[in-house]
Structure 1
Amino acid sequence: MVLIWTQFGVKNKNVNVKCKVRPMHRDDSSNSTSSGESKSDQEVPCLSIKPMGKDFYKVLGVSSDSNEDEIKRAYRKMALKFHPDKNSEADAEDKFKEIAEAYEILTDPKKRSIYDQFGEEGLKNGGGMSMSGQTNSPHYSYHGDAHATFSSFFRGSDHFDIFFGTDADGEDDLFNPFSRFTFSHVGGGGGPHGNDGLRRGRRRLQGLAVIQELLVTLEEVFHGCTKRMKITRRRLNPDGRSLRMEDKVLDVVVKKGWKAGTKITFPREGDETPNNTPADITFVLKDKKHSQYKRDGSNIVYTAKITLKEALCGCTVNVPTLDNRMMPLPCSDVIKPGAIRRLRGEGLPHPKMPAQRGDLVVEFQVLFPDRIPPQSREIIKHSLAKC
């Protein structure tokens, strides 16, 4: 008879099984085996067992001895290719999640070590299997947010800006889904776990936030206001698959003194798809051009036009305010072009302290005559002889 016993040597992804074989004769005693190994013992390969489950190296298109930088480069390439907001193929989302899962495991030294030794089953079994092949610890399953993994990987990098089309001013362009929405001004001054084909326990992805400019006048910023904005968006029908178009009016509250660039976000009020939670809608304040003022933070600048005579001889300028008053501004000194005067506390409210206000800055523009009569020229020469 032949007695075979095995020793397991584990390396990389494959479990290489080697057998030590020693021939035994019928007349050998069962107790005659010495504690040492016989010289006739031979160690020969017996069989090679490949772990069952996904080949995460193959998913990312890298070899099993790839370093972390190579894995990151491969993930960047694959994630950009299969991101659902860029790839419209039916299986793009599943592929994207599989890529994220592979990246999470292969960039975690502990998980990668377990995976290299025991494969995906080893991860599910907590790093090992019992002799009967049954699990001996809780199952591992991927519960990551593929979109969050993607965003955290690319956030702050050139690749994120290129993919999402974000320019220096924070505006979305290339792949901005804003074009899917219709906005109009109509007056007035999913749970954490998904369904519908997603694997149980996985979080649903969320579409990119929709950015929309919200024009406001300086008077609206001065007093505060509520803007009613009508949107048209896609929503799921009760069957969880088909979509319908629906209108909704959002009340955007603009508080006193808010500056241009202030963002007001309505969570999950945008488009919804079977596999995504609704996108956020963000309104970004933008000052509407004013006929009389320019804005400078909490200050407003008013240009007062005066004649050369008024600039030299003095005058009183009536300055309009945002709350429809006229403020007299006496000027007895000579006023040079570009000179400024301030009306303290007549500007816009400070956004953090609305009870305090900026200044109304009066900038003078001197209007020179096109011509001077000869007799007036002589008088001016005589009057300004010592100037």
Structure 2
Amino acid sequence: MGFDYYNVLKLNQNATEEDMKRAYKRLAMKWHPDKNPVDKKEAEAKFKLISEAYDVLSDPIKRQIYDLYGEEGLKSFDQAPPPNTNAGASFKFNPRDADDIFSEFFGSGGSAGVGKGHFRNNNHNIYGAEVNRKAAPVESKLLCTLEELYKGTRRKMRISRSVPDDFGEPKTVEEILKIDIKPGWKKGTKITFPEKGNQEPGTIPADLIFVVDEKPHPVFKRDGNDLVINQKMSLLEALTGKTIELTALDGRYLTLPVTDIIKPGHEVLISDEGMPVSKEPNKRGNLIIKFDITFPSRLTAEQRSDLRKTLGASDN
């Protein structure tokens, strides 16, 4: 009894040309001998049968004869072909080479250097010369708060990427990646996940690269490893002193007394209260306080007089 070519390709007798192409792609990729080195003989036999089934069912004349007489009848056919075909006065079944059919779908690299009826037995991928081509890296911003970059944290990132399915058609897959953000990382730091980007048929998947970016902070501004704050201060406070109260990026409550007379442009530097230095875990930058002195927009005559007396007396 002959082979049921429809069953070989997992199709019914109403299958269209596109149905056959999809079925062939899926099964040829699954059973190509290069992808089955352990059971190579079995794979070769199935690969040839899949190719033969596609060769017959994708050809209108062969398919019509097969539907009438089956596989055995097709191969031993010595009559005139069925009416309403373009086979001419006679027909003889000549199966196409499996490698040739495969090459039509996946390029000549799929069977380069292989003789008729033989399959490669080496470490090359069935995609042939294309295998060394890698898609361009895919970059994505990783927005981080200053608190995250100060203390370090772990992020879970859900990604979607395009990869080929069993038919070579693009499909979207989702995955969750874990990113360990290290204390002190700066804007522009790159975290690479090899081959976690998009993929096209016959290529190596692209690398996925996350690039650290900093979210603006309402109090602190980063300058390298230093943290900077702009502190508003009235003229009276600049002259008489003020206690500045801050919540550090790690949640500590800081009390910073300022007793010196503060002049415009004056800065106060507090060591070891800046950002961690990523390559030196025990080292931190500085906290820099820049003062913005607010002068009164007007003074009464009495206030002017009092200031003259006070400041004039202090000059003597």
Q: What amino acid is aligned across from residue 348 of structure 1 in structure 2? A: M
- The answer as to whether partners of 1:207 and 1:276 remain within 8 angstroms in 2 is yes
User: Could you give the per-residue CA deviations for residues 146-181 of structure 1, whole angstroms, max 9, x where no partner exists?
Assistant: xxxxxxxxxxxxxxxxxxxxxxxxxxxxxxxxxxxx
Work out whether 1:283 is the aligned partner of 2:210: yes
Equivalent residues in 2 for 1:196-275, closer than 5 Å = 196=127, 198-199=128-129, 203-239=131-167, 241-275=168-202
Q: What amino acid is aligned across from residue 233 of structure 1 in structure 2? A: R
Equivalent residues in 2 for 1:274-313, closer than 5 Å = 274-313=201-240
Q: In 2, distance between residues paired with 1:244 and 1:327?
A: 53
Unmatched 5+ stretches in structure 1: 1-90, 98-191
Q: In 2, distance between residues paired with 1:193 and 1:356?
A: 50
One of 263, 278, 283 as aligned partner of 1:351:
278
Q: Give the structure 2 partner of residue 341 of structure 1.
A: 268
Q: Give the structure 1 partner of residue 38 of structure 2.
A: none
Q: In 2, distance between residues paired with 1:254 and 1:227?
A: 7
- The answer as to whether partners of 2:131 and 2:203 remain within 8 angstroms in 1 is no
What is the Cα-based RMSD across aligned positions, in Å?
2.6
- The answer as to whether partners of 1:204 and 1:275 remain within 8 angstroms in 2 is no
Q: In 2, distance between residues paired with 1:204 and 1:337?
A: 62
Give TM-score, length-normalised by structure 1. Answer: 0.47
One of 372, 375, 385 as aligned partner of 2:299:
372
User: Could you give the per-residue CA deviations for residues 343-367 of structure 1, whole angstroms, max 9, x where no partner exists?
Assistant: 2111111010122111111111112
Q: What amino acid is aligned across from residue 311 of structure 1 in structure 2? A: A
Q: In 2, distance between residues paired with 1:327 and 1:341?
A: 15
User: Could you give the per-residue CA deviations for residues 172-195 of structure 1, whole angstroms, max 9, x where no partner exists?
Assistant: xxxxxxxxxxxxxxxxxxxx9442
Q: In 2, distance between residues paired with 1:219 and 1:212?
A: 21
Work out whether 1:195 is the aligned partner of 2:123: no
- The answer as to whether partners of 2:188 and 2:212 remain within 8 angstroms in 1 is yes
User: Could you give the per-residue CA deviations for residues 309-359 of structure 1, whole angstroms, max 9, x where no partner exists?
Assistant: 010122222233112223222222210123111221111110101221111
CA apart distance, 1:236:
2.1
Give the ranges of 4+ consecutive aligned residues of structure 1 lying more than 3 Å apart after TM superposition.
Answer: none
- The answer as to whether partners of 2:131 and 2:202 remain within 8 angstroms in 1 is no
Give TM-score, length-normalised by structure 2. Answer: 0.58
Q: What amino acid is aligned across from residue 219 of structure 1 in structure 2? A: E
CA apart distance, 1:368:
1.6
Equivalent residues in 2 for 1:1-387, closer than 5 Å = 193-196=124-127, 198-199=128-129, 203-239=131-167, 241-385=168-312, 386=315
User: Could you give the per-residue CA deviations for residues 270-314 of structure 1, whole angstroms, max 9, x where no partner exists?
Assistant: 111112110001011011100000001111111221110010122
- The answer as to whether partners of 1:194 and 1:275 remain within 8 angstroms in 2 is no
Q: In 2, distance between residues paired with 1:270 and 1:377?
A: 70
Unmatched 5+ stretches in structure 2: 1-103, 110-122
Matched residue of 2:206: which SS? coil
